[in-house]
Amino acid sequence: MGKTIIVSNRLPVSLRHKNGKFEFKPSAGGLATGLGSIYKEGENIWIGWPGNDVEDPEQRAEIIIELHELKMAPVFLTREDIEQFYEGFSNETLWPAFHYFTQNINYDEHHWEAYVRVNKMFCDAILKKADPDDTIWVHDYQLLLLPQMLREKLPNATIAFFQHIPFPSYEVVRMLPWRHEILAGMCGADLIGFHTYDDMRHFLSAVGRIMGLSNESGYIQAENRLINVDSFPMGIDYDKFAKSAKSKKTQTIAKKFLELLGDQKLLLSIDRLDYSKGIPKRIKAFDRFLEENPEYHGKVSMIMVVVPSRDKVRSYQRLKEDIDTLVGRINSDYSTLNWVPIHYFYRSFPFEELSAFYAMSDIALVTPLRDGMNLVCKEFVASKVNKKGVLILSEMAGASKELQDAILVNPNNNKGVADAIKQAITMPEKEQQARIVSMQETIQRYDVFQWVKVFMDRLQYVKQKQLDLQSKEVDADVISELHENFKKAKKPILFLDYDGTLVGFKGKPEEASPDEELKSLVSKLTKKSQVVIISGRDKETLGKWFKGQKVDIIAEHGVWLKINGGKDWELYADIDDHWKPDIKSVMEYYVQRTPGAHIEEKHHSLVWHYRKVESGLGDLRMRELFSHLKYMARGHNLQVLEGNKVLEIKRPDINKGRAASAFMKGNEYDFILAIGDDWTDEDTFQAMPENAFSIRVGYSYTKANYNIKSPKEVRYLLNKLT
Ligand code: GDG
């Protein structure tokens, strides 16, 4: 087991220049605390930008040594990198896009180039430290390309990615000219985590639509790897906030502040300066509350902390101006000599003062327009040691999914938020207590340490799952074993599925006819062995494609059989199709409602195809049709099966397994090999005797003995046999 490397844009320390020297200020953020238990252990390390530009090589060397002692390694970025990669692409393109501020997106090619370049710099820095079997956990939207860059260089490493901000709907992702590269970058990871289920399903839908990779319960089947996507709502260091709120130091500070403020109901608002946090709308809602409730003038005030952030970006400068103007107007409208409605601070506070604000405030007003999670609301709740207090929380914050006992508001609803302030001020203490206690239980249980643990456990689980599949992979040893056995065999037989096994999938089914290479391969195989093409395709197509070859063909999952390249087909199963008209009329109804869908009629089955239907709509209609058909299937003793963009209804006793067994009956084969790629081939695998070899194409779970990557490898293997 290798070491663990944490990677984020910023290191958990800030490098400051002071009188020509430099010093490090540790970050007290939740992520740094939560991951402390990891990067401080053994050989583990945290890699990232230290937060300042250092040009002098001697100074750089000193910094590297100092950081090394802190278990960190720096990636030095120049002023230009910061402007184009961080302020540019990360904060002017990805941040607004991912927070649904599409009007703020800057589409700048140079910024994109810088983003690629800096992700590459991170990759190089990691490669200097990483061993092939290390675990690398990459954080957040500044490094979306990194997982794939790492995967190319360290194919066996365990790579995880966590996104701290929202992942938007496919409709937004598709607007980005670099959407493909971004998704491919993320898909280099083995585990991809988001705060909420919604973020996760948006990501899966974008990957499905843009990359054409479908998923099953959060597992994406990439070319040669299983990727897991899941939701891991991040928590806080609960005990730290609860303990601090009780501490003498915090209480002394709170007491001092309260004396200065006088007898007031206190509303607390804390955010980084960011348009996603909804600060102007919040101020306007407070304004409305004051306007509609004059009886509270002089009795309620708001403490508003805005922490400076990204102030080089123009949209942030404009936001700051808007906030200044709004606060100025409200204070000038309502203030009296002994009362100011908004106490506004554009700076950050030391932890103890922040903790005092949380502890002494009656209400927290957390109303982002969009927020990945939002930790401020959790910190407020954890600080309510006397169980009194009310949280007003935006439905648009990831945290709202967990904190259902807050007063949940739509931050765009000016009246709704103003009313929520009134509701909070007048909420009976008993109700406050019940709500706070219930939220505290949640936040305490799912704290940041639990978050790290659950994430890391999941990562191990996914890796193990991949290894289980890999251990069954057809490798050089398996090939030589097959070859030896095949060579020795007097009476060998091969059952070969066609589509997805001997040829890859084509846009149109009729385009998948055998090429010259395949024809000559099959003909070589038939010289030594019995070769059975076992497919769901219709007999006419298969007959035409393999004309003149000495193969046996089982068509339509076992309805038809043609022996040894002969002319005539024999019916290989009882056909009873009195059920078809009823079922077909239902399927037709779904074709009429679904542009792009069509029905294929086979002797023993009806197939509803939706490959050409608008993605999403096809799945929706398929689900509807599925439940409709399932209901009808019972009456007719039929089986409904979901396939690759098809829904098939058929008699359950007609399948490849039954056909393969019947075919082998009475014969003693001394080498049996079955290869197939989907659920219909699972029946074949199951019907195989113990001494048979069976191989499934792709990395799904299977009853076959082995997995193989693609039709290309299948052909390679068959060639080796000959
Ligand atoms: C991103 C996502 C997601 C604030 N003022 C002071 C101060 N803070 C600390 C708070 C809190 C942190 O800053 C803010 O965290 P948030 O989660 O609320 O917001 P973002 O910075 O936007 O974080 C967000 C988060 O990543 C984690 O995944 O929740 O959705 O946008 O911890 O305590 N700390 C001090 N003084 C202050 O004045 N010391």
pLDDT tens across 342-353, in order? 999 999 999 999
Please give the full DSSP string across 663-721, using - where no structure is assigned: HHTT---SEEEEEE-SHHHHHHHHHS-TT-EEEEESSS--SSSEEES-HHHHHHHHHHH
**How would you class 462 by CB atoms within 10 Å of its CB: exposed for 0-12, middle for 13-18, buried for 19 or more?**
buried
Tens of pLDDT, residues 128-159: 999 999 999 999 999 999 999 999 999 999 99
- Cβ of 27 less than 6 Å from ligand 1: no
Fold type of domain 4-77+118-231: Rossmann fold (3.40.50)
Q: CA 343 → CA 76, 210, 484, distances in Å? A: 39, 48, 83
* pLDDT the model gives residue 391: 98
Please report where in the chains the tokens 């000959």 appear, as a residue.
Answer: 722
Helix-strand-coil percent breakdown of the chain, rounded to 5?
50, 20, 35
Token digits for 561?
């059989």
* Catalytic (active site) residue 497: yes
- Cβ of 352 less than 6 Å from ligand 1: no
The Å distance, Cα 246 to ligand 1 centre, comes to 21
CA distance 71 to 50: 13
Averaged pLDDT for residues 96-118:
97
Among 376, 400, 452, which is best to mutate for testing ligand 1, by the most ligand atoms less than 8 A from CB? 376
- Cβ of 399 less than 6 Å from ligand 1: no
Secondary structure of 551-617 in HEC code, one letter for each residue: CEEEEHHHCEEECCCCCCCEECCCCCCCCHHHHHHHHHHHHHCCCCCEEEECCCEEEEECCCCCCCH
Averaged pLDDT for residues 368-382:
97
Contact 584, 563 (CB under 8 A): no
CB within 8 A of 277, min separation 6: which ones?
Answer: 271, 368, 369, 371
- Cβ of 308 less than 6 Å from ligand 1: no
- The CATH architecture annotation of domain 238-445 reads 3-Layer(aba) Sandwich (3.40)
Secondary structure of 123-166 in HEC code, one letter for each residue: HHHHHHHCCCCCEEEEECHHHCCHHHHHHHHCCCCEEEEECCCC
| Ligand 1 atom nearest to CA at 351 | 39
Phi first, then psi: what are they for 499, rounded to 5°? -65, 130
| Ligand 1 atom nearest to CA at 195 | 28
Bridge-based pairing state of the strands 226-231 and 219-221: antiparallel
- Nearest residue to 194 via CA among 463, 461, 451: 451
| Ligand 1 atom nearest to CA at 31 | 27
CB within 8 A of 602, min separation 6: which ones?
Answer: 536, 538, 556, 559, 650
The Å distance, Cα 379 to ligand 1 centre, comes to 10
Question: Whole-structure pTM over 0.75, yes or no?
Answer: yes
Taking the alpha carbons at both ends of the chain, their separation in whole angstroms is 41
- Class for the domain spanning 580-650: alpha beta
Res. 34: pLDDT tops 90: no
Q: How do the domains of the chain map onto residue ranges?
A: 4-77+118-231, 238-445, 476-573+654-721, 580-650
Percentage of the chain with pLDDT > 70?
Answer: 99
- Cβ of 556 less than 6 Å from ligand 1: no
CA distance 212 to 234: 30
CA distance 521 to 436: 71
| Ligand 1 atom nearest to CA at 277 | 22
Instruction: Say which of 199, 362, 497, 552 is annotated catalytic.
Output: 497
Token digits for 295?
């009886």
Tens of pLDDT, residues 191-202: 999 999 999 999
- The CATH architecture annotation of domain 476-573+654-721 reads 3-Layer(aba) Sandwich (3.40)
**Strand pairing partners for 139?**
162
- Cβ of 351 less than 6 Å from ligand 1: yes
- Nearest residue to 395 via CA among 383, 381, 377: 377
**Strand pairing partners for 160?**
137, 191
Burial 66-102, CB ≥16 within 10 A → b, else e: bbeebbbbbbbbeeebbebbbbbbbbbbbbbbbbbbe
Q: CA 521 → CA 96, 264, 545, 714, 716, distances in Å? A: 55, 86, 14, 11, 10
Cα four-point dihedral sign 217, 218, 224, 225: negative
The Å distance, Cα 465 to ligand 1 centre, comes to 35
580-650 and 476-573+654-721 share a CATH fold: no
Q: Using a CB cutoff of 8 Å and minimum separation of 24, what contacts does 241-247 make?
A: 241/355, 241/358, 241/379, 241/382, 241/383, 242/382, 242/383, 242/385, 242/444, 244/351, 244/352, 244/355, 244/383, 245/355, 245/358, 245/359, 245/382, 245/383, 245/384, 245/385, 246/385, 247/352, 247/355
Q: CA 126 → CA 61, 157, 178, 459, 578, distances in Å? A: 17, 12, 24, 19, 65
Averaged pLDDT for residues 98-122:
97
Percentage of the chain with pLDDT > 90?
Answer: 80
Q: How confident is the model at residue 184 (pLDDT cuts 50, 70, 90)?
A: very high
Bridge-based pairing state of the strands 21-26 and 13-18: antiparallel
Q: How confident is the model at residue 509 (pLDDT cuts 50, 70, 90)?
A: low
The Å distance, Cα 444 to ligand 1 centre, comes to 18
**Strand pairing partners for 647?**
608, 642
- Cβ of 237 less than 6 Å from ligand 1: no
The Å distance, Cα 308 to ligand 1 centre, comes to 12
The Å distance, Cα 30 to ligand 1 centre, comes to 8
- Nearest residue to 598 via CA among 509, 681, 514: 509
| Mean pLDDT for the chain overall | 93
Res. 374: pLDDT tops 90: yes
Tens of pLDDT, residues 423-454: 999 999 999 999 999 999 999 999 999 999 99
Contact 3, 43 (CB under 8 A): yes
Please report where in the chains the tokens 């499905």 appear, as a residue.
Answer: 208
Averaged pLDDT for residues 309-334:
92
Quickly count: other Cβ atoms within 10 Å of residue 431's Cβ: 12
* pLDDT the model gives residue 28: 67
Res. 507: pLDDT tops 70: no
